[in-house]
Structure 1
Amino acid sequence: MQIAKVRGTVVSSYKEPSLRGVKFLLVQFLDEEGQLLPKYEVAGDIVGAGIDEWVLVSLGSAARQVGETNKRPLDAIIPTTIASR
C-alpha cells in the first residue's frame, strides 16, 4: 500500500458493467514526510473518501482481493482513509 492524497473525482460517461457503482478518485502519492510526489493514480473508492483526505491505496492484484472489487478490472483501490498523520 502507498499513502496518497485525494485530489479530485473522475467522472465517466460510460462504464464497463462490472464497474457500475464504483466511484473513481484521482489520488496523488506522498513521500515519507507527507510531501506530494509527481505521481498520480485513478483509484476505485470503496470507503467514501473525500477531496484532500489522506488515504491508503492498494495497487495491482492486491486491489482485487476484497469482496467489493473481486473480479472487477481495477488496478488501484482506496480501502481506507487515514485518521491521523
Structure 2
Amino acid sequence: MFLGKVIGSVWATQKEEGMDNLKLMVVQPTDFQDRDAGATVIAADRIGAGVGDKVIVSRGSPARMLFEGLKVPIDAMIVGIVDSYEVASPDEGE
C-alpha cells in the first residue's frame, strides 16, 4: 500500500466487464511530508474519494481481492481516505 493524493479523474465510457460502476482516479504517490514519491497511477475508487483527498492505495493482487469471485483488471484500488496521520521525526526518542 502507499499514501497518495488524488489529483484528477479519468472518464471511460467503455470499460471491461466488472468495471462498469467503478470511478477511476489519478493518484500522485506521496511521502509523509507530502512530497511526490513516484509516478502517478490510475486507481479504482468505490469509496468516494475526490480531487485533493489524501488516500491509501492498494496495488496488485490485493486490490483485486476486493472483488469476490470476479476477474477484474484492477492494478490499484483506493482503500481509504486519510483524515490525519502522525509520524515521529527521526530525532525523537533519542
Radius of gyration: which is bigger? Answer: 2
Going from structure 1 to structure 2, the CA distance change for 1:70 and 1:5 (only over 3 Å counts) comes to: farther
In structure 2, list runs of 5 or more residues that go unmatched: 86-94
Going from structure 1 to structure 2, the CA distance change for 1:54 and 1:60 (only over 3 Å counts) comes to: same
Aligned to 2:25: 25
Please, what TM-score do these two structures have when normalized by structure 1?
A: 0.89
The percent of aligned pairs where both chains have the same amino acid is 35
Runs of 4+ with deviation above 4 angstroms: none
Instruction: Confirm or deny that 1:13 pairs with 2:10.
Output: no
Going from structure 1 to structure 2, the CA distance change for 1:31 and 1:84 (only over 3 Å counts) comes to: same
Counterpart of 1:24 in structure 2: which amino acid? L
- Checking the alignment, whether the CA contact within 8 Å between 2:6 and 2:26 is kept in structure 1 is yes
Q: How many residues align?
A: 85
Which has more strand, going by share of residues? 1
- Checking the alignment, whether the CA contact within 8 Å between 1:46 and 1:68 is kept in structure 2 is no
Deviation, 1:66, is: 1.7
